Structure 1
Amino acid sequence: MIHICKSRGRIEIQMDAYLMGTDDVVILISGGDRPHLGTITTGTKDQPLQTTQFQQHQEFYITEEIAMNLRKHWRGNFAICGGIHIDQINREEINQLIEMVVEMGNELILKLQK
């Protein structure tokens, strides 16, 4: 398992990646006041991404961002599950959260390539 945490201000996020065999990976992104399962994005290098969004959750913005970068660098299948909820989040915090998740995704790719 690969575990990555980041925090800025009141935003705390964690990313956990679980290898399944040598080619597949499941990634869990969670944090905030009420972690949950909001969106799942799946993919592989050679097929279009598929995203399932539960209710009105908008984590697809982050799961798809990570997926688009991951598919450039990962050889196998992947599933990215995301659920971050921060009460009363403002625009600046949303931008910080997205930046943090992208940084975490880049760090994860480097660790997966080792």
Structure 2
Amino acid sequence: MHVKTLASTEQTVQFAVTETDYTMHLKLERQTSDLLIQIIGGDVPHYGVITTVDKTGKALTTALPSRPGHVHQEKVLIDQVLKTVKPLITNNAVLVSGMHVNEITPAQMRAAMPMAHELGVALAKWLKAHPDQTQVVTYAK
């Protein structure tokens, strides 16, 4: 499985991996030490599941409705990415995921978690190579 880097700056990076005839993307945007990570792809990229992680590691997930009686299931993709990047979260992180492959096959379903894991590994390497620039925060007295 080969992860491609599509774009990179000091504050952003985009990766993609393609397997079984579909592509999954990971996009990172950093604001100081906060992270916004998007895991999207397939035929209909969207936002279906949101996980927030604070600097203590506490995570909270919301799965939005997908169709009557169902919620989005992309938490499994977020969990794969979090396995590798959670130790590198120094402040707050928001992970958003949404991926739909029309007429998905069993092989395509099996490929999704390894794809997300590989994207997480690529992101962890990038975060280690591009540490955030700690800024002094002051508050009114």
> Higher mean Cα deviation, 103-112 or 59-68?
59-68
CA-based RMSD:
1.3
Distance 1:71 1:47 in 2: 7
Partner residue of 2:40? 30
Counterparts in 2 of 1:2-81, with a 5 A limit? 2-21=13-32, 23-55=33-65, 56-81=71-96
Q: Using structure 2 for the length normalisation, give the TM-score.
A: 0.74
Identity of aligned residues (%): 24
Query: Where is the helix percentage greater, Structure 1 or Structure 2?
Result: 1
- How far apart are the structure 2 equivalents of 1:12 and 1:5? 7
Structure 1 residues 65 and 9: alpha-carbon distance in aligned structure 2, compared to 1, 3 A threshold: closer
The Cα of 1:74 is off from its aligned counterpart by 2.3
Question: What runs of 5+ residues in structure 2 fail to find an aligned partner?
Answer: 1-11, 66-70, 130-141
Instruction: Tell me, in whole angstroms, the C-alpha distance in 2 between the residues paired with 1:44 and 1:27.
Output: 14
Say whether the 8 Å CA contact 1:42–1:67 is kept in structure 2: no
The alpha carbon displacement at 1:18 in A equals 0.3
| Structure 2 residue aligned with 1:110 | 125
Q: Secondary structure at the match of 2:87?
A: helix
Q: Structure 1 9/91 Cα, relative in aligned 2: closer, same or farther at 3 Å?
A: closer
Task: Please identify the structure whose Cα radius of gyration is greater.
Answer: 2
Deviations 1:7-64 (A, max 9, x none): 113111111100111x211011111111111101110341421001011110011112
